[in-house]
Amino acid sequence: MSLSAAGAALQGHDYQHLFAWYHALRALNPAEDVTGVAVEAEGAGNVDDVVVRRRTAPDEHYQVKYSVDGRHPIDQAWWLTPATRNGKSPLQRFWDSWQLLTRDGRRPPMGLYTNRPLDVSDPVLALQDGRTGTLGPRLRGGRLSADAARGLERWANHLGVAQAELLDMLDHLVLLTGQAGWMGLATSVSDRMAAVGLRSDALAVEQGAQAIHAWVTEGRREVDRQALVAEIARRGLRGEARQATVVVQGIDRDPWAAGVTVSLDWVDLFEGDHPRARRQLRDPSHWNARLLPELEAAERHVRALGFDRVLVRGHMRLPAWFAAGVAFGDTRNVRVGCVQGGQRWGSDVSEAPGGLAVDVTSPVELGAGDELAVGLSVTNDLSEDVLAYLQDSVLPVGRFVAIATSPAPSRTAIPDAAAAMGWALAVRQVVLDQVRATGARRVHLFLSGPAGGALLLGHLWNRLPSTQLYEDLSPGYAPAFLIQG
């Protein structure tokens, strides 16, 4: 059933108000140079939906475009076609706003924020810079294809300006396209609320959007920090300990990485042009020369900001989840957690009574050295694949031990956070016993299981020798992080 025009408009306003709340929360972070926000700001041209007021830097101006059907891309026709017969095109509107706002040598950042994707088949739009989200750097930074050059000329002619003037604007226009709908934005708002010590449940997030809605309804366009603090108190939104959010963009980027406490971007370091294909680094030395140090630096940064609770999220494979758990380890007096299947799994959750039973098969003696290999089977039984890999390798492994959930691996073998803690503690104890029995100087660790389980196991991984993690190449394996003992 399709929405009426009024229903679609209401959804768009709700989306805009949640986006405004997301940025208003920045005023509560002393590390931010933000004093408040304006909604439907006066004198801001076409980028008046949300304006972020800055103390010293130029204000940020956003146009928020929500589509009930977010599948239709923002293409060249959208940029160059007026919405009404006598109106102006979006490109002309942005240009007029740029002219209006650029004064005294200050070039304000502008942004288009929408759940509609960008048409990357267009030769101009395909040159969006992956890090800044703008078009200017790549349009001016190299030799353009003939199609891109013609497209850029068409845009400049549409405005009646020189290409250099157009590129100056495009350097400062961030295209935040393809953003998730309400639920995706709510996730990012929840992260930000937790970081400043507010409740971060779904009801609290909705209360934040309602606060903006109430201000707009009352005709109040400007919201400063003092008003924000008063509204938070009135709505009873305080109550949680502050929690940092660390996003690791391993095999795919996270549209809500901006604004979290720490965001790491490793996507371009992996081979492959699709998340499913990204399993190996282009340079394998980066596992320990770059990725692991970045996790360790993230932990130092979080602690320097005074956080002792950390939520980890992002698109990454199991070795990275394990390594994140190690970085935010139990010995650092940090409590770590993630969202697994809609539940919060965290190291502050008590283990299930009696723990979680695991089956340990009879060790396979390989006799190739004094190191220990461990295969952890939670969702799938990987023991045969790991054993085959070890037998074909030249690794100095003397013993292989397979540890599986009882009664058998499955997608529901670890049902909740308490069971996950019980599993992690049981696995660590089995590995400790095997290390003592063999005197192993190194552990080779292979994993199959939920991300939250790997995170918690890494968090508890101490008093153990150096541990080599492996990426599942399906088929085969490749070394990943080496965790020093």
Average pLDDT, the chain: 91
Beta bridge partners of 403: 360, 376
Rg (alpha carbons) of the chain, rounded to whole number: 26
Confidence of residue 259 (pLDDT cuts 50, 70, 90): low
* Higher-scoring residue by pLDDT: 241, 114: 114
pLDDT at 7: 44
Helix (H, G, I), strand (E, B) or coil at 242: coil
Q: Where is 224: in which H helix or E strand?
A: strand 222-224
pLDDT above 90 covers a percentage of the chain that reads 73
Q: Could you tell me the pTM of the whole model?
A: 0.73
pLDDT at 324: 98
* Higher-scoring residue by pLDDT: 362, 389: 389
* Mean pLDDT within 147-157: 96
Q: Which two tokens stand for residue 307?
A: 């956080």
pLDDT at 48: 94
Q: What is the pLDDT of residues 467-480, one digit of tens each?
A: 999 999 989 999 99
* Mean pLDDT within 235-255: 87
* Nearest to 482, CA basis, from 323, 278, 331, 325: 323
pLDDT at 342: 76
| Omega within 30 of 0 (cis) for the link into 407 | yes
> Among 3-17, 237-251, 277-291, which range has the highest average pLDDT?
277-291
Confidence of residue 175 (pLDDT cuts 50, 70, 90): very high
pLDDT at 240: 67
Confidence of residue 243 (pLDDT cuts 50, 70, 90): confident
Would you list the DSSP string of 377-435? ESSS--HHHHHHHHHHS---EEEEEEEEESS---TTSS-SHHHHHHHHHHHHHHHHHHH
Report whether pLDDT(4) > 50: no
User: Phi-psi bin for 104: left (phi > 0), alpha (psi -120 to 50), beta?
Assistant: left
* Higher-scoring residue by pLDDT: 251, 258: 251
How far is Cα 350 from Cα 352, in angstroms, rounded to an integer?
A: 7
* Mean pLDDT within 396-423: 94
* Nearest to 449, CA basis, from 374, 401, 378: 378
Q: What is the pLDDT of residues 219-234, one digit of tens each?
A: 998 999 999 999 999 9
* Mean pLDDT within 93-113: 91
Distances (CA, A) of 119 to 144, 152, 166, 230, 268: 18, 15, 20, 43, 21
Q: What is the pLDDT of residues 371-383, one digit of tens each?
A: 999 999 999 999 9
* Nearest to 61, CA basis, from 74, 46, 83, 76: 46
> Among 185-199, 242-256, 299-313, which range has the highest average pLDDT?
299-313
Which DSSP symbol is given to 114?
Answer: E
pLDDT at 70: 60
Confidence of residue 254 (pLDDT cuts 50, 70, 90): confident
Confidence of residue 5 (pLDDT cuts 50, 70, 90): very low
How far is Cα 17 from Cα 34, in angstroms, rounded to an integer?
A: 18
pLDDT above 70 covers a percentage of the chain that reads 96
Q: Which two tokens stand for residue 38?
A: 């304006």
Q: Which two tokens stand for residue 223?
A: 């919201």
Please say whether the beta carbons of 480 and 473 come within 8 A.
Answer: no
Report whether pLDDT(447) > 60: yes
How far is Cα 311 from Cα 346, in angstroms, rounded to an integer?
A: 9
Please say whether the beta carbons of 345 and 337 come within 8 A.
Answer: yes
pLDDT at 188: 84
Report whether pLDDT(30) > 80: no
Phi/psi at 106 (nearest 5 deg)? -95, 125
Amino acid identity for residue 108 in this structure: P
pLDDT at 321: 98
Report whether pLDDT(179) > 80: no
